[in-house]
Structure 1
Amino acid sequence: MSYTGDVRVGGPPDVLELPSITVVKLAVGPMDNNAYLLRCRRTGGVLLVDAAGEADRLLALVDEYAQGRLDRVVTTHRHPDHWGALAAVVSATGARTAAGEPDADAIPVRCDDRLVHGDSVPVGETGAGAARLRVVSLVGHTPGSVALVAEEAEPEPHVFTGDSLFPGGVGKTHSPADFTSLLGDVERELFGRLPDATVVHPGHGKDTTLGAERPALPEWRARGW
């Protein structure tokens, strides 16, 4: 199960209806970043993955799909194209902020929740029944890059990977050691723990599945990027 459209910068959002959450995808900014608005279907809680750019369009998305409510913004990693609108979005909504602990101080907006591997982040409210996302640390693209796994988003898990995993390979790294770390984490924590049907929602471009990418893992390791 995935989006029906091809989301592009300046274009309309695309909506994915799952049993536990609604996901609204919008491409923003000069680097065609994906921002994902998640709404818990049980509690109405709302979370944004990456306030990447174009605050006005992101706030309009919050107004249209969440009646102006935004409880939390999670930044997948420290690179500026993933937090360019964060200050404006937080100022307008009062949302809490979260990021991987090693990247938190490199993001020039307050960080309310410093995430570590294995944390559970509610989609909105913290009470009983709220949909939750499991935090997966994927070290290599940056020291504090995180993915967010919605394991109860039936009929298959969904994972929001930032710049750590795309169709066709892992994210950019700056040294062989970083590449080895990132690919190792991705293989162990995503390909090793989640089913092939898992839908991957990357920080740029189209979604894919772990099953579609798994056959290429040896090729990625051999080429070194």
Structure 2
Amino acid sequence: MAGVRVERVVTSGVFALDGGSWEVDNNVWIVGDDHEAVVIDAAHDAEAIIAALGERRLTAIVCTHAHNDHINAAPALAEATGAPILLHLDDRVLWKQTHQNREPDSYLSDNQRIEVAGTELQVLHTPGHAPGAISLHLPALGAVFTGDTLFAGGPGATGRSFSHFPTIIRSIRDRLLTLPAATVVHTGHGDDTTIGDEAPHLEEWIARGH
């Protein structure tokens, strides 16, 4: 039996906020073993995610935040699999912009543990890109899933509604850059990075207001 592992599915669609829309590619992360898994950010294409899951039991659909491009496939995936949708309460206002008739099944809290395949994901509340943005630390594999909080090259965007640059900097400094340097950062869009690669640039990000 294979142990717990991380898989990426890239889906494409539209991100819409504040009256604008942009074509985007999203990283959908599957964490689990041969028998069960969780999905992090059900973006755009429920069928593609279901195909990647195969015969595995989906135990949770975890949302790093509630921008539409990270949650638009969540209800369809939940309906197909019976898995609950989990979101931080502070992002409920954003969730309702996309899904007015479907609530998340449960609201996440800081430091909560989500069990899967004999290991745990730890919820880190990392607001700034969105008020309820979270990251998920997976110590067993030396990994963290940061959604749109931290990318290869710097913080996520804070120029739109419900975002705040000083807050995202605090989240990155206090909750993410304190993780071991070798920790692999699995992002919401684009390539992986590591905590060690990003940590030296914190002051640069602050200086340029990213």
Give the alignment's TM-score, normalised by structure 1: 0.81
Task: Supply the RMSD in Å over aligned alpha carbons.
Answer: 1.7
Q: Counterpart amino acid of 2:156?
A: G
Q: Counterpart amino acid of 2:82?
A: G
Which of 106, 111, 132 pairs up with 2:120?
132
Aligned residues: 192
User: In the aligned structure 1, how far is the partner of 2:64 from the partner of 2:149?
Assistant: 9
User: In the aligned structure 2, how far is the partner of 1:47 from the partner of 1:91?
Assistant: 15
Residues 23-38 of structure 1: pairs in structure 2 closer than 5 A? 23-30=6-13, 31-38=24-31
Task: Please state how far the C-alpha of 1:68 moved relative to its aligned partner.
Answer: 4.3
SS of match in other structure, 1:152: helix
Alignment deviations for residues 10-66 of structure 1 (CA, whole Å, 9 cap, x no partner): xxxxxxxxx85211101101311000111146xx33100010111111111111xxx
1:40–1:131 CA contact under 8 A, matched in 2: no
Alignment deviations for residues 69-113 of structure 1 (CA, whole Å, 9 cap, x no partner): 211100110100001111111111000110111113532233122
Task: Please state how far the C-alpha of 1:190 moved relative to its aligned partner.
Answer: 1.0
User: In the aligned structure 2, how far is the partner of 1:99 from the partner of 1:133?
Assistant: 14
User: In the aligned structure 2, how far is the partner of 1:212 from the partner of 1:58?
Assistant: 30
Identical-residue share of aligned pairs (%):
36
- Who is 2:168 aligned against? 182
Change (3 A) 1:182 1:200: same
Which of 115, 140, 143 pairs up with 2:131?
143
Which of 70, 87, 90 pairs up with 2:75?
87
1:25–1:36 CA contact under 8 A, matched in 2: yes
Residues 1-225 of structure 1: pairs in structure 2 closer than 5 A? 21-30=4-13, 31-40=24-33, 44-63=35-54, 67-107=55-95, 108=99, 109-123=102-116, 130-153=118-141, 157-174=142-159, 178-192=164-178, 194-225=179-210
* Higher fraction of strand: 2
SS of match in other structure, 2:52: helix
User: In the aligned structure 2, how far is the partner of 1:29 from the partner of 1:86?
Assistant: 14
Q: Counterpart amino acid of 1:22?
A: R
User: In the aligned structure 1, how far is the partner of 2:198 from the partner of 2:3?
Assistant: 25
User: In the aligned structure 2, how far is the partner of 1:84 from the partner of 1:29?
Assistant: 11
Which ranges of structure 1 fall in alignment gaps of 5 or more residues? 1-18, 125-129
2:36–2:56 CA contact under 8 A, matched in 1: no
User: In the aligned structure 1, how far is the partner of 2:9 from the partner of 2:60?
Assistant: 17
Which ranges of structure 2 fall in alignment gaps of 5 or more residues? 14-23
1:20–1:131 CA contact under 8 A, matched in 2: no
Shift >3 Å, 4+ stretches: none
